[in-house]
A and B are shown apart, each in its own frame.
Chain A
Amino acid sequence: MSDRDIILAAIRAARVPAAPPASAAFATSAAPAPLASPSPAFTTRTDDEALHGAFLRVLAEVGGRGVICQATQSLDELLAAELGVDKESAVIVRGRFAVVENGAVYVDAADIGARNSIVLAEHLVVVVPYAAIVPTMHEAVRLMPVDSKCGWFLSGPSKTADIEQSLVFGAQGSRTHRVIFEMG
């Protein structure tokens, strides 16, 4: 027998009792705050402005910087102002959507050049449509493209705390991380 067959046979022989999928188990649990209504902080304020405000706050907490590109402003102007001399070493990519609860943006490999460019960049800028924002990862994972070959949730710049738990940004990937919301 191949290792594959041995492993699969051993699993089936273990006769693990059936257990319902998580969503079903959750729907019937007497949990105090059902998953269907995540953090009140996110869900009770569904207007875009509140979502963006919360996102920018969380993003700052994870070491990133978020900017909303106003309708009167061109993206190029904003980038030039934001990045200054760093513009030369910056990589600017399109993100699909932002996630409020953790300050992450989803970037799909289909939208960028080399996959490792997001980590090779000294300065990473992710441009996300203003309206593309969801409260939590529950909504976010459903927005991942079904045919995605590779994609990332990026939350702030590269970081490490492996030396005496001192937080250092730019451990191996980007040193700075910006999210720009683009109107329209």
Chain B
Amino acid sequence: MSGHPAAAAGFLIDAERAAWHDQSLWFMRQKRDAGSAIPEWESLRLAGQALKTHAMSRLADLLEEFERRATANGVQVHWARDAQAHNEIVLGILRSAGVTRVSKSKSMLTEECGLNPFLEAQGIEVVDTDLGERIVQLAKEPPSHIVIPAIHWKREEIGELFHRTMGTPAGETSPDALAAAARVHLRDALLNAGAGITGANALVAETGGVVVCTNEGNADLGMHSPPIHIACAGIEKMIATRDDLGVLLRLLARSGTGQPVTAYTTHVTTPRAGSAMHVVLVDNGRTKRLADATMRSALHCIRCGACLNTCPVYRRSGGYSYGHVIQGPIGAILAPAVDLDRHHTLPFASTLCGSCGDVCPVRIDIPAQLLAWRARSAAAGRLPRGYASIFPLLGRVLSKLDRYEFAARMARRFQKVIPASWLSGRWNPWTRPGRALPVIADESFREWARRAGRGS
């Protein structure tokens, strides 16, 4: 085993912890169900899908409109074709202002671009200020969930980590006390940073505004305190109008955490007096996906995390099993576009149960794209191990009745003569994790039908 199956099996070795992880995320799914139980929910999802489809159809125009308004408001707009260009732009802004310490609120884009290690290698200290992100940063780990980065951490472990890194009392495990300690620790970082980096939940062409949503308020401390605010955003964050923003905000938090809206929703168009504001617009593979009609709609993702929370596979395999900055079902259709070789097992890390598609607030047909990526993996010769030898043969056997019946009769004979202990050996993935061997019936339905004089 390699790729997702191996990592998932590793995660499941600690069965108790895996069950706890599953239940924690199922709780999120239940909160989403309760929070989204408003009469117009399905209509809102249609509107969410429509506004994103519209924005992608006019993306170049909207980006130009946004740039024009933002520039007129005194915002400096930068364009980055890839991660490297993005990182260089951010570094350039920081260098020219002599900044050596920055705070950063949650931004999946900067994770994708590897901004933290890049800046740290240049001698710039980066403090992630979302509590969950700070936990994983202190532990030198990547986030395991796009909305709840430290969902895989238990309070005892966080207590131990904070004891080591922040000097909280040993054995402290109360979330209130730990969060209070983090508040002090993070305020220091936020107020003494030379610049604040944020992501963007949306860019609004009509207003030239950058929209940032948090529950903790860390993005606001970060962007309104230091003399420089840098907002980093993928180009797909573009939406057309403030009406669209209204729809998006109604969908986002309800899908993610079940809240009607995040505690802080900031719409900023203009730097405050005496400070600078930058927006970095990043491509990094997005235009390539835009040109791919089958996979295009994955760009509509608003990073709410609902598909992760509902995914029975994500809940039981953990975020790291995906080996990608975006995890879960949406990650499984985004990652192969980045590197199919490396991520070819991800589209297969799904039962195609369809739940992800039904919770998606912008109705991305994730199951259809999982299937499409499977077909592309096959075409590229990158199927999971064993698939390439089994399925073409199975296809031949199952495409003619006589071949199929012959094979079935042979299998039945083998079943009778080969010891069950061998059939259920370690090599057999059906029985290995705890399943009895399937039993081929002594008489198939077709054989019975023929015997009864009714068959074909």
A residues near B (Cβ < 8 Å) are: 2-4, 6-8, 10-23, 25-26, 29, 31-35, 37-40, 58, 62, 99, 101-104, 109, 114-116, 118-120, 136-138, 140-142, 144, 146, 148-166, 168, 170-174
Contacts and interface: CB of A to CB of B under 8 A. Distances in A.
Interface in B143-185: 148-151, 153-155, 158, 175-176, 178-180, 182-183
Q: What 5 A-B pairs have minimum CB-CB distances, sorted nearest first?
A: A173-B217, A102-B260, A22-B51, A10-B287, A25-B50
B192 interface: no
A165 to B, nearest CB: 6
Given A155-B260, A172-B216, A3 B80 contact: yes
B100 interface: no
Given A11-B290, A152-B265, A20 B50 contact: yes
A154 B47 CA distance: 24
B245 A141 contact: yes
Question: For the complex, would chain A's binding face be called helix, strand, loop or mixed by DSSP majority?
Answer: loop
A138 B217 contact: no
13 contacts: A3-B283, A19-B57, A21-B241, A22-B240, A26-B47, A101-B38, A114-B224, A120-B221, A150-B268, A162-B130, A164-B153, A168-B176, A172-B221
Contact of B54 (A21, A35, A141): A21
Interface of B: 24, 27-28, 38-40, 42-44, 46-48, 50-51, 53-54, 56-57, 59-60, 63-64, 73, 79-81, 85, 129-132, 135, 148-151, 153-155, 158, 175-176, 178-180, 182-183, 186-187, 190, 207, 209, 215-218, 220-221, 224-225, 235, 240-247, 249-250, 257, 259-270, 272, 281, 283, 287-288, 290-291, 296
A11 B267 contact: no
Given A153-B265, A172-B186, A162 B135 contact: yes
Given A7-B235, A11-B290, A22-B51, A171 B131 contact: yes
A109 B249 contact: no
A162 B260 contact: no
B260 A22 contact: no
B57 A10 contact: no
Contacts of B257: 161
A4 B81 CA distance: 8
A119 B260 contact: no
Given A7-B235, A150-B270, A173 B261 contact: no
B23 to A, nearest CB: 10
Nearest to A118: B220
Contacts of B244: 21-22
B242 A173 contact: no
A10 B79 contact: no
B52 to A, nearest CB: 8
Contacts of A149: 73, 268-270, 272
B220 A62 contact: no
Nearest to B242: A141
A143 to B, nearest CB: 10
B250 A101 contact: yes
Contacts of B221: 116, 119-120, 172-173
B57 A18 contact: yes
B104 to A, nearest CB: 14
Contacts of A115: 220, 224, 272
A176 to B, nearest CB: 12
B60 A12 contact: yes
